[in-house]
Structures are given as structure tokens and as C-alpha cells.
Structure 1
Amino acid sequence: MEPQLLHGVADSVATVVIHHPAKRNAMTAGMWRALPPLLDVLAADPGVRALVLTGEGGTFCAGADISSLQGSPDEAQRLAQRAEEALAAFPKPTLAAVRGHCVGGGAQLAAACDLRFAEEGALFGVTPAKLGLVYPAAATRRLVTLVGPATAKYLLFSGELIDTPRALRTGLVDEVLPEGELGKRVAEFTRVLVSRSQLTQAAAKEFADGRTDRDAHWADQARGSGDPAEGVTAFLQRRGPRFTWTVPGPGSA
């Protein structure tokens, strides 16, 4: 099978699989280009309430497939940056499910997700210093937000790999699971995500990512959504809530 991004939707969760096992799921130029339009399609699907990004088999993503990146290093980096920003802008919760190596462009994609769950034994590295590249400013800020300036500098200055205990301790990952338990935990947690209010999640995602000018917008959305009333009613009736607000499609305010 050619290197590609596989995807599917089940139980309101979209799963995108980085599939290039011959090179430990390294991202080719075509794969970098394919990710933003694929995310646009999944974002516009009202049946999608969360997204999981993972790799085929026992590796998340070993970075960029250098042999496929014809032209200048700058162009290769622009492709990766566009894909990263498209993932960061996805309007619904995103979760990276990491096994094995999560290095270079793979770490860049994982950091662009809202959450990262990893299997014991996974290794993480941010490696532009090994190639003489300048890591993008937005990606650097995102990494600093996750792990703090000291760990971000350690990763960027050295290009060294860190293990799951250190990744968990520094905030690079949110949960570490024993071998064989990652898929079960991701399925369990995404069931929780899709049961919650998309209104709450969408507003929280914007605020957590630094938007400071949308308080009035989200207050208006809440008043017109019916979600707060449904949440209170469901709580009083001791039943699960049935939230109805959905993320607006492309082009909506």
C-alpha cells in the first residue's frame, strides 16, 4: 500500500491513521499536503464529535520522509507547518494516540492535538537541530505551552529523545498506558468526549488556545443553544444529557 493517511468514522469519532510502515510512518510530501483538506472534510461532518490521530502498527510517526521531500528544506517545512496548524485549528477535540517513536514532524503533529495518550515505551523527540532547521515560531510556542521553556529548550537544543515517564512528568503527554491498553483507553475516553457538550468544548478550546476576544460570541451561543438548560434538567432528573449544539460548518461565524 502506498504511503497515505487512512481515515474512518465510528461512534462519532474520526480516526486518522498515518500509514507508511516501511519507513516507521514517516510523513511524505503527499501526506503533509493531504492532511489539511482531510481535516476540513472531517470538521464539516456533523457526525464527527472528536478526532484521534495515530500511526499504523507500533509507531506513531518517525518524522518526515526526507527522500520524498523534493526541493528546498524551506518548502518541506512549510508543508509540515500547514498541516500542524490545520490540526491545531480543528474545531473539535483531538487526541494523539502514540505508540513507539513520535519524533520530528510526528512530535509536531502530536503537540498540535489537544491531548496526547501514550503507550509505555514510546519515545518523543523534537529534532530540527539535527538537520540545521529553524523550528517554526508557532510550533515552538505550542511546545513551550505544553512543557515549559526549560524542557522545550532541552528538546530543541539537543534533539534527544525522552521516554514516557519524562514526557508525562513534563506535560508532553496526558496519560501513559501499559502495553496493549492504549486502544481500550482511547476508545473509553473518546466515548466520554462525544457525550459532553460541544458548546463547552469549542469555547474552552478557543480560550485555552489564547483567544481573548470571543466572550460575547460564546455567551450568545450559550443563550441560543439550549445546552445549559438541558444540562441542568438532566442533572436534576439524574439522566444523561442530550446536548444539541454542534460546531458550525465552514464559513460560519
Structure 2
Amino acid sequence: MLGVTTDGPVTVLELQREDRRNALNLELCRAIHAAVDDAVAGGARVIVVTGQGTAFCSGADLGGVYGDEFLDALYGMLHHLAKLPVPLIAAVNGAAIGAGTQLAIACDLRVADEKAAFGVPTARNGLAVDAWTIRTLSDIAGAGPARRLMLAAETFDRDTALGMGLADRPGTLDDAIAWAHEIAEFAPLTLAHNKLILNGSPDDDAAIDASFDAVWASADVREGAAARAEKRTPKFEGR
């Protein structure tokens, strides 16, 4: 159901419900939630999320979408991804529809292949997504595109998504993994601080202040200064 592979500081999660085009069900939502925690605890600096076969994630499995238990698992997982201290990259290898688009925007960056497609067609099926989803879409892609997704139920192809910032780069899973390795060389505390601000709310002010202080007090600040003086690449340890 969920494949997990480790490539040095990068962990790759592969949704493996190819017969259901990687639709999210209760078990898969819970598996993703647990796997990202395990990855961070194991020292992953970047996590890549992708889908098996020709779809990234075709949405929620409609066989269980109406239950409160599923909704709690889905939104608990999505919001948890947004709050993780490490960056996540969605390698969107095909359709990312409904909950698939939600999963993609819960990641921090999106690499889209030529068959990628994004849409949240709740207006067509009488369902609803939470406020976080709509506001995040608006923050990432802009208010106009978010309205087209949510009110006109449009689907965006890869090039359209790239043009509005819903996708960050064109490319394959290999390209996403290569980008993840580049990012994994950066200072982990700084990345966590930046992500906290980008994804946070006014309620996070105390945590942001503490994160700012922790970065400036870290050994990585001193390592960065030493590397500049010695004209070498810094080796950040996240402490």
C-alpha cells in the first residue's frame, strides 16, 4: 500500500494502490502519517511523495469517503505534512485529482511530469474540502486559479500548473529525487524555520521566535561561517 525507500538523507514514499489509481483510503492515510514520522525520526532531511504507475493520486477512495473516521485521517495526515520540520516534494507523475491535489499542496514543492493534472472537482460531486485546502491553493496558485479550481471545477494540465506556480518544476521522479538531494545539503534548522513561517499561522508566533533564536544559536551558523572563511562547502548537522 505504501512503499518506503531511503536514499541517504532522502526518503521516498510511493503510494501503491495502482489498481485504484492510488486513491486514498483510511489505511493509506494512516500509513503516510506514520511513515513521515518514521522518516524524520530516522534522519531524513527531505521526503519525496509519488504514486505507483501512471497516477499520482486519483483522489479519495469513494467507498469510504463519507465516514468521519476517514475525514479525520485524511485531514490529520495533510495538516501533519504541512507542519513537518523537513521539506516534502511531490513528484506528480500523473493525475492528482481531489485528495491528490490536496496531497500535492500539503507538500512544499511539486515536480510535475508531462501527464500531471490537478483538480478539485467537489462542485461536481457534492463534497467539500476544508478551509486549509482552499486557502493553500490560493496562496500557492493565486486567487484567480483557486476560484477556477473550486468554483468552475477546472482541471489544470502540467503546463498550466507550472505557469501559475501550482507546479514548481517540470520533471520525473528522478528529477524530484535529485532536487531533494540538493535541498538535503542545506541547513536543516533554517529549512524548518522557513517552513514554519511559510505554512504557519498567527498562533505560531512564539514557536517562530523560538525557532529564529535556535537557528542563530546553532552550531550550523558557526559551520557556515567557517566554510565561508575556508572556501569550502558547509556540512550542516541540524544542531
Q: TM-score, normalised by structure 2?
A: 0.92
Question: What's the counterpart of residue 241 of structure 1?
Answer: 234
Q: Deviations over 1:90-129 (max 9, x none)?
A: 2101000011111111110000000001011211111211
Q: Does 1:48 align with 2:44?
A: yes
Letter in 2 for 1:80: L
Which of 187, 193, 196 aligns to 2:177? It is 187
In 2 relative to 1, CA 73–153 (structure 1 residues): closer, same or farther, beyond 3 Å?
farther
The corresponding residue for 1:229 is: 222
User: Structure 1: how far apart are the matches of 2:51 and 2:127?
Assistant: 25
User: Structure 1 pair 216/86, CA: closer, same or farther in 2 (3 Å)?
Assistant: closer
Match of 1:164 in 2: 158
TM-score, structure 1 as length reference: 0.87
Offset from partner CA, 1:122-171 (integer Å, 9 cap, x none):
11111211221121011111111111121111101132211111101111
- Shift of the 217–151 alpha-carbon distance from structure 1 to 2, 3 Å rule, reads same
CA contact (8 A) 2:4 2:11 kept: yes
Unaligned runs of 5+ in 1: 247-253
Give the secondary-structure state (helix, strand or coil) at the position aligned to 1:65.
Answer: coil
Determine the C-alpha separation between the residues in 1 that align with 2:68 and 2:143: 25
Structure 2: distance between partners of 1:91 and 1:108: 19
Kept in 2, the 8 Å contact 1:94–1:113? The answer is yes
**Residue in structure 1 matched with residue 135 of structure 2 by the alignment:** 141
CA distance in 2, matches of 1:183, 1:176: 10
Residues 25 and 70 of structure 2 are in contact (CA less than 8 Å); yes or no, is this contact kept in structure 1?
A: no
Letter in 2 for 1:212: D
| Map of 2:29 onto structure 1 | 32
Report the AA paired with residue 217 of structure 2: G
Q: Distance between the aligned counterparts of 1:219 and 1:108, measured in 2?
A: 29
Deviations 1:178-224 (A, max 9, x none): xxxx1332222111111110011011011112343345313431243
Q: 1:57, 1:155 → 2: CA distance? A: 25
Match for 1:131: what amino acid? Answer: N
CA distance in 1, matches of 2:212, 2:80: 26
Match of 2:205 among 212, 215, 226: 212
**Which stretch has the larger CA shift, 73-82 or 104-113?**
73-82
Match of 1:80 among 74, 97, 103: 74
Q: Could you tell me how far 1:30 is from its partner in structure 2? A: 1.4
Separation in 2 of the partners of 1:223 and 1:124? 39
Matched residue type, 1:96: A
Per the alignment, residue 124 of structure 2 pairs with 130
Residues 216, 89 of structure 1: CA spacing in aligned structure 2 closer, same or farther, 3 A cutoff?
A: closer
* Gaps in structure 2 of 5+ consecutive residues: none
In structure 2, the partner of 1:22 is: 19
| Alignment CA distance shift 1:41-1:166 (3 Å) | same
CA RMSD of aligned residues (A): 1.7
